Amino acid sequence: MTRSSAVGGLLRRAVAAGSAPSAVAAWGTVGQAPRIECAGLARVGIAAREADQDTRYDLASLTKPLVTATLSLIAVSRGVLDLRAGAGEALGSSAASPLAGATLAQLLSHSAGMPAWRPSSFPATKISISWWVPGSTS
C-alpha cells in the first residue's frame, strides 16, 4: 500500500466513523508537488460539496495549543519572552490599542476578556478588535 492510499484510507475511515464531516491532508518534500488526499463533504445539505484540495478549515482553536503556546513556552525557556509583559509592549501595539492593557499570560490563558469566537467568513484583513476591552467578559 502506498503512503498516499494509506493516508486516504485513514481519512475515509475517520469520516465514516463520524470523527469529522471531511478531512484534507497534504504533505510533501521541498521541490516536489505535494501529495493531497481528501475525504468527506466540505459542505452538507442542498449545496453539498465534496472536500477537495481547496477546502479550507477554521483552525483557530487548534493554532493556540499546537503552535502559539508551544512557541511561547520555548521563548520563555530561552529568556526572550516574559509572559508578565504587557501585550502592547511585547507586540509593539500603541497605548491606544485594545491589546495594550492585557498581558501575554492573559491572552494565552484566555483570561484577557476577549470573546471566545467570532465568525471567520470574512477576510482576516477586515477583522478589527476595536470592540474588545481588556479584562472584559464579553
Average pLDDT, consecutive stretches of 10 residues, N- to C-terminus, the chain (138 residues) = 78 93 89 90 87 82 77 92 84 66 84 69 47 50
At 74 the pLDDT is 93
Task: State residue 60's pLDDT score.
Answer: 65
User: 75 is written with which cell numbers?
Assistant: 521563548
pLDDT for 17 equals 95
Contacts of 82 (CB under 8 A, 6+ apart): 76, 90, 104
**C-alpha dist (Å) from residue 50 to 87, 116, 133:** 41, 29, 40
- Give me the count of residues in the chain: 138
Q: Kind and range of the H or E element at 6?
A: helix 3-16
Q: Where are the domains of the chain?
A: 3-50, 60-126
Whole-number pLDDT of residue 127:
43
Question: Residue 136 has what pLDDT?
Answer: 53
